[in-house]
């Protein structure tokens, strides 16, 4: 079984050598193809941080095991980590957080065991990076949540929860505020949940989820979230089990998956052979399990847990009364503990089942097809305009351009209605949106929208516009606060 390995920058080569050394000692049946990715590849002039040969190898073998990589600052280049996740559509970020003996936390001291998996959507949301300055004072970001994208990650979470025998699967969201975006994610979660009646599923608003996670993390098992909320909640969970050094990360796609440490390149300790390889090792163990190499994964994980329990530690954690070991000694310790069982939470033996990554080329895009066939119509338009005038002045001008077909219904500033009614206490910035709608949800043509654009542009600088859509009798836009 071949996998691609990119050692990474900073402490990357040290911790990768330590982990591959452990895999070799455990006779993991894998061939490693080393590929060129990271800062020095950027420096050689490859703007995406990887050589074409690296890209080809990864696409052929389907699995990338990577160390941390540095993104050069201020050169206008994008993070190679994010590029890799997006290019290969690794839509599910799976991060496991568990109590590790020898890694003291408030929960381990209180005897509360943690065994959590956060599945974070990895492609969409604000990470599309679609942002525009509407005026010099106002920036606007777009947030994509799609039905097929949500379904992919939610289905992965349910399948994983089922295989793991999870006690509970929870959707974290903010659908009470973001009714269309988070609302869609939650709707898809509830639809997919119907296919898994054997799993206990529920949903929790993300702020409440954070509060519950820091007080009773043991009540949760698998949690699935949108990208940004998942990013934040997963680091919160890393804190619950002792920090990023103990948090593995798997980026799962249908054809290519990436396993990596979540911490950075630690330039302050690079080259000193003192870095902690645990996060990369745990990510490597997720990789072995993903590939069906259960026997080796269990043996190495039990040896790691035994090693931690016996107090062996690198300088970044553990009992300060016991001298720290270096990276190589830590790895050697794990190897010498092969076959030993930890006293707490030993992993059960499971036989291997090999999964060979398929040699795959995407010839069509299945997510382009939608089964939904509701009748669509445009019933209005929001014009985003730049203006430093008071709402009534703006309304007076807009009313001159409104037509019988498209009537002015509301003006808002930062999402809060300021016309026809509002409060003098609402603070204003120099960008409004003015909503024009047809009476009785009548159909509006794109030509009518363009005519109104031309007319309004005589009086205003228009920054952007957004059509007001309806599918069947469902409004596909939010109301202004106070409308």
Task: Count other C-beta atoms under 10 Å from residue 470's C-beta.
Answer: 18
Token pair of 207, please? Answer: 């702020």
Residue from 70, 121, 125, 231 in contact with ligand NAI (CB under 6 A)? 70
Using the rule CB under 6 A, is 48 a contact of ligand NAI?
no
SS3 state at 161: helix
Residue closer to ligand NAI by CB (options 107, 246) is 246
Using the rule CB under 6 A, is 234 a contact of ligand NAI?
no
Do 184 and 150 meet the contact criterion of CB atoms below 8 Å apart?
yes
Q: What's the min distance (Å) between Cβ of 69 and ligand NAI?
A: 4
Residue closer to ligand NAI by CB (options 99, 278) is 278
Using the rule CB under 6 A, is 391 a contact of ligand NAI?
no
Helix (H) / strand (E) containing 156:
helix 147-164
Do 3 and 286 meet the contact criterion of CB atoms below 8 Å apart?
no
Using the rule CB under 6 A, is 68 a contact of ligand NAI?
yes
Residue 386: alpha-carbon gap to chain centroid:
34
Q: What's the min distance (Å) between Cβ of 76 and ligand NAI?
A: 15
Using the rule CB under 6 A, is 264 a contact of ligand NAI?
yes
Q: Minimal CA–CA distance to 6: which of 283, 359, 303?
A: 283
Using the rule CB under 6 A, is 316 a contact of ligand NAI?
yes
Give the residue nearest to ligand NAI (CB): 264
Using the rule CB under 6 A, is 312 a contact of ligand NAI?
no
Q: Minimal CA–CA distance to 224: which of 253, 194, 202, 191?
A: 202
Using the rule CB under 6 A, is 263 a contact of ligand NAI?
yes
Q: What's the min distance (Å) between Cβ of 451 and ligand NAI?
A: 49
Distance between CA atoms of 418 and 432, rounded to whole angstroms? 9
The contact pattern for ligand NAI, residues 4-23, with x = CB under 6 A and - = no contact, is: -------x---x--------
- On the CB side of 186, CA atoms within 13 Å amount to 17
Long-range contacts at 367-373 (CB < 8 A, ≥ 24 apart): 367/146, 367/148, 367/149, 367/152, 370/147, 370/148, 372/147, 372/471
How many residues bind to ligand NAI according to rule CB under 6 A?
A: 19
DSSP letter assigned to residue 144:
B
How far apart, in Å, do the first and last CA atoms of the chain sit? 60
Q: What's the min distance (Å) between Cβ of 275 and ligand NAI?
A: 4
Residue closer to ligand NAI by CB (options 14, 121) is 14
Which residues, 116 to 175, sit near ligand NAI by CB under 6 A?
A: none
Residue from 4, 35, 55, 71 in contact with ligand NAI (CB under 6 A)? 71
Do 406 and 438 meet the contact criterion of CB atoms below 8 Å apart?
yes
Give the footprint of ligand NAI on this chain (CB under 6 A).
Answer: 11, 15, 68-71, 81, 245, 260, 263-269, 275-276, 316
């Amino acid at each position: 079984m071949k996998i691609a390995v990119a050692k990474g920058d900073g402490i990357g080569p040290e911790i990768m050598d330590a982990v591959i050394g452990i895999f070799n000692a455990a006779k993991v049946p894998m061939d490693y193809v080393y590929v060129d990715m990271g800062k020095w590849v950027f420096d050689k002039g490859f703007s995406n941080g990887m050589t074409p040969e690296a890209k080809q190898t990864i696409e052929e073998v389907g699995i990338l095991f990577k160390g941390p990589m540095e993104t050069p600052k201020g050169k206008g280049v994008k993070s190679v980590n994010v590029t890799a996740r997006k290019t290969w559509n690794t839509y599910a970020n799976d991060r496991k957080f568990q109590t590790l003996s020898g890694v003291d936390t408030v929960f381990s001291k209180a005897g509360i065991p943690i065994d959590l998996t956060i599945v974070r959507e990895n492609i969409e949301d604000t990470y599309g990076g679609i942002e525009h300055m509407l005026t010099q004072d106002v920036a606007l970001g777009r947030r994509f949540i799609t039905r097929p994208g949500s379904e992919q990650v939610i289905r992965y979470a349910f399948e994983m929860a089922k295989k793991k025998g999870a006690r509970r699967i929870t959707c974290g969201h903010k659908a009470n505020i973001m009714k269309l975006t988070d609302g869609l994610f939650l709707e898809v979660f509830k639809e997919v949940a119907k296919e898994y009646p054997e799993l206990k599923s529920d949903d929790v608003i993300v702020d409440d989820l954070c509060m519950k996670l820091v007080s009773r993390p043991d009540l949760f098992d698998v949690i699935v979230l949108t990208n940004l909320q998942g990013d934040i909640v997963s680091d919160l969970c890393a804190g619950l089990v002792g920090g990023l050094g103990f948090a593995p990360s798997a980026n799962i796609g249908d054809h290519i998956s990436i396993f990596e440490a979540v911490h950075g390149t630690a330039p302050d300790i690079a080259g000193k052979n003192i870095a902690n390889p645990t996060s990369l090792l745990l990510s490597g163990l997720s990789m072995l399990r993903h590939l069906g190499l259960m026997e080796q994964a269990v043996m190495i994980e039990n040896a790691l847990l035994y090693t931690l329990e016996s107090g062996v530690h690198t300088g970044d954690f553990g009992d300060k009364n016991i001298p720290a070991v270096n990276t190589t000694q830590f790895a050697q310790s794990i190897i010498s503990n092969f076959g030993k069982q930890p006293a707490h939470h030993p992993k059960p033996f499971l036989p291997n089942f090999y999964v060979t990554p398929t040699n795959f080329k995407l010839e069509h895009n299945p997510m382009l097809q939608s089964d939904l066939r509701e009748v669509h119509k445009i019933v209005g338009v929001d014009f985003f305009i730049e203006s430093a005038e008071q709402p009534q002045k703006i309304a007076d001008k807009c009313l001159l351009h409104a037509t019988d077909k498209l009537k002015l219904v509301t003006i808002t500033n930062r999402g809060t209605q300021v016309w026809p009614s509002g409060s003098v206490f609402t603070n204003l910035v120099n960008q409004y949106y003015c909503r024009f709608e047809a009476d009785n949800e009548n159909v509006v043509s794109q030509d009518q929208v363009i005519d109104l654009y031309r007319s309004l542009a005589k009086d205003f600088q228009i920054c952007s516009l957004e059509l007001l859509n309806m599918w069947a009798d469902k409004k596909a836009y939010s109301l202004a606060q106070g409308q």
